[in-house]
Amino acid sequence: MSVILVVIGFILLVIGHQASWLYVGGVTLLIGSLLADQLNFVRKELDMIVFSFTSGVLGVLLCAYLRKFMVILAALISGGYICYFLPKALGWDTSWINWVIILLVGLASAVMTLVWGVLPLILISTLLGTTLIIQNMRIASVGPTGMFIVLTIFGLVAQWVLWRYSKPDTE
């Protein structure tokens, strides 16, 4: 499952804001894998992958009909996920993190996405992609902090360039 999460992380890192259905599908797949892992109702790895992909497809289908709502909901979930798992992936002390802080960060992510649109979504999808990659992939010569810096800069630049140059010229 970790290879799949690295691929999802890289996709979110590069084109997370461009394709809202892909962003929502990646977040719901991630939530499906977390639910299957934490609640222990899926015993085998193959069943976990099937459950995760089913939840991802469900998220994509809901995004087709409720795009704005699903993107904001995905931003809420992404913000909470980043708040909880990024400090762990970087090896920081996580004793200060509780459900209130996770909820506040998730709500802040959702409100920023609702109010400002694309720019917070670029940041959130970049940080989510970076978190997924750091959690599930280790490179011996580069530590998690170095990977975080490189991946975050790469993702922000890639998504900003895609956003900037995908707009039609008005001149």
Question: Is residue 67 in some structural domain?
Answer: yes
pTM summary value? 0.87
Quote the domain boundaries for residue 17.
Answer: 2-166
> How many other CB atoms sit within 10 Å of the CB of residue 153?
12
Is 4 a residue whose pLDDT tops 90? no
Question: Is residue 22 in some structural domain?
Answer: yes
DSSP bridge pairs for 139: 142
The residues near 87 (Cβ < 8 Å, ≥ 6 apart) are: 93, 94, 97
Into how many domains does the chain fold?
A: 1
Note the pLDDT tens digit of each residue in 84-126: 999 998 888 888 888 999 999 999 999 999 998 888 999 999 9
